[in-house]
Structure 1
């Protein structure tokens, strides 16, 4: 199974060596990181949400060690979409002292078969696999293993050839971001190259990514998770999923935005809070949802989306991205009169008309790897730079405001 020249030490996987997760569930095989707490998960039976929040975007093992070899046994869940080409295995990124030092995948695992046309899915069992990194520098160092952003991953065992200690708590500001599949990392090449991970690295902040594919729907339980999670800086990207799912009309949208922000402010009254509207998505700028797979593309073995709504229904309150941006801008302006730490960013500043002409969205909704990089660089420049809405507060204010949270009892 592994090299016999190493004397292996097995270290329990506990919250003390895990960052970016809000909950750790014990399973028959090991532990499963979650990005929403159990109480939130109990309030929604939606399979898409369950899949998204259990995919560990931004979740990483972080520890100090002299080890030159590291092995991680995991049980991944691979997704297979009926009629679509097979998806590549989820990618793990290794960082040593903050610098990229390797990349790997784990084969095997469970399979989740999804039929988008019938809306059904089916789980099949599979074996545990092993991720292996060797020839690491033989010195004290901080090792980070970023889990696949788009692949549910049960953690079974961590083995090293030298002892492991938890890394000290980071001095950097903690940035919590909530958004849709684009924030989750859809179609990025790896977990450290999703746009939020890139932006966090450029901004010198510690990421908690609550980007939930298909599930940024102004859910009250998500607002409470944001409120109750210690963070120094918060951003919330709202819009595309409400159009994709055709979930609510304008009459419900505006109070839901206010309610979400009210809930966050109950626990984080003065934390810098940035509301981000959708990036440009031409199919839905002026055409409501729902989004539907394009049958012609599926027949050719590709997944592309089209807008299945009727522009005439905007008069009845159906949401488009244009409507949502106008309303978010208005709501934030209204609230900012009493909330000087609340800010708005038009998502088209991250990806707009010129970007769409140069780097079109391959499936009409999700950016590719190059576009993730551009969005991450733009967000860091607009939000984290000196004078930006999320430029770091002083350490004293951070400690007072951060408080304690669900997994901070370390």
Structure 2
């Protein structure tokens, strides 16, 4: 944290309001500041699951965006640090700075609250901590758009924004809005920073505005999530379905197909012709043919590593328990049938993003989540398969990319 003597002199303090944020669907006023949420309040009220509450309040894809001539920016924040009992310390959350769309800095905040999670017992303890301060200096003195991407994996209350010149909301760019929903992989688990989660990388490459509704452990075909997707303005929508249904052992095959149909029906109530892409799971060896649930590998925890194993039995597939292989087959069948009457509905096999050969080269470190290099590979492949020529989002993606190139050339 910066000392008092390092603070900006003659600073301008700007009240943090919703018009300075992108990627958040709600802004909660707290005792010390504001807390961005990625689910609206009415949706949060319909689920008391602590995992979802933590995940949706972690601001993956959420960024402060403003226009200013300031050469120095300070942001007071109250992050919530996670500590897993018996596992190595997690690195502090990362804040990425972009100036006129280009990387211009990276920082982390000291202090913050601490959430200690015992994976073996399922218990958690929350301890309050102090506010931390980020400081970015040496910015160009011209009028510019500044973006501060909040940590994708740390709940972050925004306490104060100070600059050495006035701030105003940045003008909306004429770009397609891509609304994406998925699991912890889409959320960004184990990515290096908020702009290098695979959805953020794909969005940057395609020149679209990202709204990321990837929730760690929370891609469970919840009706309130479908209604949120239905009601959120977007030009392009994708939903990545599968891994959480297996690793939570939430439902059986009998319930799965109708739940998928209901989820898609709800989205189509409000977005009847919006390009809609259904993505099946990436390759995950422990659950390809073995049902869930996923449980912590206590042997690995004993050596200071966080890892998971599949606790189901392959024989249980006969009783309708789900595996990734079963889910991929069902999703392909469902989309094929629905696409006969819905020309804007598309399917992507997740193994095209990360398959068996990729797993041999870049194995999932904890057996569930990709590392930074794999996020980059998935993001690049998604952009190529979905936004590039011949892809389901190609028309809007190409137009957005052309606008992004023109904006960059003119800056």
Q: TM-score range by the shorter chain?
A: over 0.9
Question: Which residue number in structure 1 is paired with residue 21 of structure 2?
Answer: 18
Per-residue deviation at 1:394?
Answer: 9.7
1:276 to 265, 279, 283: 279
Alignment coverage as a number of residue pairs: 396
Per-residue deviation at 1:312?
Answer: 0.3
Query: Is the 2:27–2:34 contact (alpha carbons within 8 Å) kept by the matching residues of 1?
Result: yes
Using the alignment, how far apart are the partners of 2:183 and 2:295 within structure 1?
17
Using the alignment, how far apart are the partners of 1:317 and 1:10 within structure 2?
58
Which structure 2 residues correspond to residues 143-154 of structure 1 after superposition, within 5 A?
Answer: 143-154=146-157
Per-residue deviation at 1:6?
Answer: 2.7
Per-residue deviation at 1:393?
Answer: 3.6
Using the alignment, how far apart are the partners of 1:382 and 1:209 within structure 2?
19
Question: Which residue number in structure 2 is paired with residue 46 of structure 1?
Answer: 49
Secondary structure (helix, strand or coil) at the match of 1:103 reads: strand
1:347-373, CA deviations, whole angstroms, 9 ceiling, x for partnerless residues?
000000111111011110100000000
Q: Which runs of 5+ in 1 are unaligned?
A: 397-410
1:333 to 331, 336, 339: 336
Using the alignment, how far apart are the partners of 1:2 and 1:226 within structure 2?
46
Which structure 2 residues correspond to residues 13-162 of structure 1 after superposition, within 5 A?
Answer: 13-162=16-165
Query: Is the 1:176–1:207 contact (alpha carbons within 8 Å) kept by the matching residues of 2?
Result: yes
> Is 2:367 the partner of 1:364?
yes
Change (3 A) 1:2 1:190: farther
Per-residue deviation at 1:390?
Answer: 1.3
Change (3 A) 1:31 1:5: closer
Using the alignment, how far apart are the partners of 2:117 and 2:78 within structure 1?
19
Query: Is the 2:52–2:217 contact (alpha carbons within 8 Å) kept by the matching residues of 1?
Result: yes
1:213 to 208, 211, 216: 216
> Is 2:408 the partner of 1:388?
no
Change (3 A) 1:304 1:26: same
Using the alignment, how far apart are the partners of 1:65 and 1:392 within structure 2?
33
Using the alignment, how far apart are the partners of 1:53 and 1:21 within structure 2?
10
Query: Is the 1:92–1:148 contact (alpha carbons within 8 Å) kept by the matching residues of 2?
Result: yes
1:213-251, CA deviations, whole angstroms, 9 ceiling, x for partnerless residues?
001000000001111100000000000000010000001
**TM-score of the superposed pair, with normalisation by structure 2:** 0.95
Using the alignment, how far apart are the partners of 2:70 and 2:88 within structure 1?
39
Question: Which residue number in structure 1 is paired with residue 187 of structure 2?
Answer: 184
Change (3 A) 1:228 1:5: closer
**TM-score of the superposed pair, with normalisation by structure 1:** 0.95
Question: Which residue number in structure 2 is paired with residue 309 of structure 1?
Answer: 312
Using the alignment, how far apart are the partners of 1:383 and 1:294 within structure 2?
35
Change (3 A) 1:2 1:226: farther
Using the alignment, how far apart are the partners of 2:49 and 2:19 within structure 1?
30
> Is 2:352 the partner of 1:349?
yes
Query: Is the 1:173–1:392 contact (alpha carbons within 8 Å) kept by the matching residues of 2?
Result: no
> Is 2:294 the partner of 1:288?
no
Q: CA RMSD in A?
A: 1.2
Query: Is the 1:188–1:194 contact (alpha carbons within 8 Å) kept by the matching residues of 2?
Result: yes
Query: Is the 1:65–1:141 contact (alpha carbons within 8 Å) kept by the matching residues of 2?
Result: yes
Per-residue deviation at 1:395?
Answer: 12
